[in-house]
Chains A and B, each alone.
Chain A
Amino acid sequence: MADDHALTRLEPLVLVAVGGFAGAASRYAVALALPDALPWGTLVANGLGSFALGVVLYERHFADALSAETRLVVGTGFLSSFTTYSTFAVETAQLAGSADPVPAGVGGPTLAAVNVAANYAVGIGGVLCGRWLARWLS
Chain B
Amino acid sequence: MNSVVLVGLGGVAGALSRHLLGERIDARTGDTLAVNVLGSFALGAVLAAPVGDAAVLALGTGFCGAFTTFSTFAFETVRLFETGERRRALANAAVNLAGALAAVWVGSALAAAVW
Contact between B11 and A46, CB atoms less than 8 A apart: no
- Interface class of chain A by DSSP: helix
Contact between B62 and A86, CB atoms less than 8 A apart: no
Give the B interface residue count (CB, 8 A).
50
User: With contacts defined as CB atoms under 8 Å apart, how many contacts are there between chain A and chain B in the complex?
Assistant: 175
Contact between A24 and B78, CB atoms less than 8 A apart: no
How far apart are B47's CB and chain A's nearest CB, in angstroms? 6
One digit per residue, 1 when the CB lies within 8 angstroms of any chain A CB and 0 when it does not, for chain B 56-69 equals 01000110111111
Question: Interface size for chain A: under 10, 10 to 19, 20 to 34, or 35 or more residues?
Answer: 35 or more
Q: How many Å lie between the Cα of A120 and that of B70 in the bound state? A: 9
Closest partner residue, chain B, to A84 (CB atom): B65
A100 touching B48 in the complex, CB below 8 Å, given contacts A17-B16, A54-B75: yes
Contact between B39 and A16, CB atoms less than 8 A apart: no
Q: How many Å lie between the Cα of A124 and that of B82 in the bound state? A: 12
Closest partner residue, chain A, to B35 (CB atom): A85
Among A63-71, A90-98, A103-111, the one that faces the other chain is: A90-98
- Interface class of chain B by DSSP: helix
Contact between B74 and A89, CB atoms less than 8 A apart: no
Partner of B9, one of A21, A79, A89: A21
Contact between A86 and B36, CB atoms less than 8 A apart: yes
Within 8 Å CB of A12, what residues of B? Answer: 19
Q: How many Å lie between the Cα of A76 and that of B100 in the bound state? A: 21
How far apart are A8's CB and chain B's nearest CB, in angstroms? 15
Contact between B8 and A21, CB atoms less than 8 A apart: yes
Contact between B11 and A29, CB atoms less than 8 A apart: no
Within 8 Å CB of A120, what residues of B? Answer: 74, 93
Q: How many Å lie between the Cα of A82 and that of B18 in the bound state? A: 13
Chain A residues within 8 Å of B, Cβ to Cβ: 12-13, 16-17, 19-25, 27-29, 45-46, 49-50, 52-54, 57, 76-77, 79-90, 92-93, 98-100, 116, 119-120, 123-124, 126-128, 131
